[in-house]
Amino acid sequence: MRSAKDFFRPLAVGAPAPVREVPFRPSRMIHFFDPGNEKMAAKVPALVPRVDVLLGNLEDAVAADRKEAARHGLVKTARATDFGATQLWTRVNSLDSPWALDDLVTLVTEIGDKLDVVMVPKVEGAQDIHYVDRLLAQLEARARLTRPILVHAILETAAGVANVEEIAGASPRMQGISLGPADLAADRRMKTTRVGGGHPGYLVRADPGPAGSGDPDRPAYQQDLWHYTIARMVDACAAHGILPYYGPFGDIGDVTACEDQFRNAFLLGCVGAWSLHPVQIDIARKVFSPSPEDVAWAHRVIEAMGDGTGAVMIDGKMQDDATYKQCRVVAELADALAARDPELAERYRAARAASADAEGEGR
């Protein structure tokens, strides 16, 4: 067992000290690009101001004979790009693949100073994080990095789901976890053939009417295939102070269902999702930013609650310590996003002003 007092000691001589808290940086959309595809890589500078996170993908969707081109393309793009406040992440190949070791060695030694987070796919348990943790420390020391690279796990195996709590708490490097519905479906032997989202066959039907009524129009409601896993992932992340994300939504043309899936994740506690196509960037920005109306309401409750204890009635709704805390979550997220997104900041300001005016008129 590792002693608690050693948890924040660097795992290699010369490696930077681990972070004690995951820095909250907006990451509403983790935008994937293939760094070996020159056309895509050329679009990176234009994407930087539009997204919170750019992720150079080396794993699935990059063919086996393009793996090295993708790795070297990422080194080239990272060196040539000024990312400003936008984060640069990478998804390396899975730890049992022939590419993972070279991915980590090359990227940390060549562009470690530019990389914020390494996403590790197909994580099955704490042992996978411990391996990456030590290796990153050795490489950081070799590259003389002064800040640690964080680690993000994809939850996409049945073992990973069974061990999600130990994964979330495996290292101070753990930044967050994303749901990987496509690989998870395969690993669990689900009978779907898609990347995330719902399925028309997964439904609950209303009870039949009285015997003999025929009842031709019994309504049925589609259910969310991912509810259990997302909720479990959110609890594991919240318990360990790291951030949960929905992953990919593969039906690029179905922007409505994508928005719904992202919103379910947001309401359950996720802070962002992957965007696989530029059209999904704006969906994620909209969904993972609290609405101006919710932000204005949150501030109304916070102001009315004073020190946050006791109870007040606002517009007929009871508010107490617990709703005050929920409102703080919304208001603090809005502040963090507004600091990065001036247009959103203005919409929040206008909604709060309108809400204060309406309240003044109501008095």
Q: Which residues bind Mg ion (CB under 5 A)?
A: 156, 180, 183
**Which listed option, Mg ion, ligand GLV, none, makes contact with residue 181 (CB within 5 to 8 Å by class)?**
ligand GLV
Of residues 148 and 180, the one with the C-beta less far from Mg ion? 180
Give, as ranges, the residues between 7 and 66 that touch ligand GLV (CB under 6 A). Answer: 60
- Which among 9-17, 35-43, 175-183, 288-296 is the span making contact with ligand GLV, rule CB under 6 A? 175-183
Q: Residue count at the site for ligand GLV (CB under 6 A)?
A: 10
Of residues 34 and 183, the one with the C-beta less far from ligand GLV? 183
In the complex, what is the shortest distance from the CB of residue 218 to ligand GLV, in angstroms, rounded to a whole number? 33
- Cβ–Cβ < 8 Å for 101, 88: no
H-only helix segments in the chain:
38-42, 44-47, 67-80, 100-111, 126-143, 158-162, 164-168, 181-188, 227-240, 255-268, 278-287, 292-305, 321-340, 342-362
Rounded-to-integer distance, Cα 29 and Cα 283, Å: 9
**Is position 234 an interface residue for ligand GLV (rule: CB under 6 A)?**
no
**Which listed option, ligand GLV, Mg ion, none, makes contact with residue 247 (CB within 5 to 8 Å by class)?**
ligand GLV
**Which listed option, Mg ion, ligand GLV, none, makes contact with residue 169 (CB within 5 to 8 Å by class)?**
none
- Paired residues of 317 in beta bridges: 314
- Paired residues of 86 in beta bridges: none
Helix (H) or strand (E) run with residue 220 in it: strand 220-222
Contacts of residue 242, Cβ cutoff 8 Å, sequence gap at least 6: 22, 168, 174, 175, 176, 177
- Paired residues of 90 in beta bridges: 56, 118
- Which among 20-28, 75-83, 179-187, 232-240 is the span making contact with ligand GLV, rule CB under 6 A? 179-187
**Which listed option, ligand GLV, Mg ion, none, makes contact with residue 56 (CB within 5 to 8 Å by class)?**
none
Which 8-state DSSP code applies to residue 272?
A: B
**Which listed option, Mg ion, ligand GLV, none, makes contact with residue 120 (CB within 5 to 8 Å by class)?**
none
How many other C-beta atoms lie within 10 A of the C-beta of residue 361? 7
Site string for ligand GLV, 235-274 (x = CB under 6 A): ------------xx--------------------------
At which residue do the structure tokens 């348990």 appear? 125
Q: Give the closest residue to 237 by CA, choosing from 179, 277, 318.
A: 179
Of residues 143 and 185, the one with the C-beta less far from ligand GLV? 185
Site string for ligand GLV, 127-166 (x = CB under 6 A): ---------------------------x-x----------
In the complex, what is the shortest distance from the CB of residue 55 to ligand GLV, in angstroms, rounded to a whole number? 11
- The binder of ligand GLV chosen from 52, 103, 124, 183 (CB under 6 A): 183
Q: Give the closest residue to 158 by CA, choosing from 93, 228, 91.
A: 228
Q: Give the closest residue to 61 by CA, choosing from 277, 306, 315.
A: 277
At which residue do the structure tokens 């050693």 appear? 6
In the complex, what is the shortest distance from the CB of residue 186 to ligand GLV, in angstroms, rounded to a whole number? 8
Q: Give the closest residue to 84 by CA, choosing from 118, 43, 50.
A: 50
Of residues 187 and 235, the one with the C-beta less far from ligand GLV? 187
Of residues 26 and 180, the one with the C-beta less far from ligand GLV? 180
**Which listed option, Mg ion, ligand GLV, none, makes contact with residue 298 (CB within 5 to 8 Å by class)?**
none
The one-letter amino acid at 53:
V
Binding site for ligand GLV (CB under 6 A): 60, 154, 156, 180-183, 195, 247-248
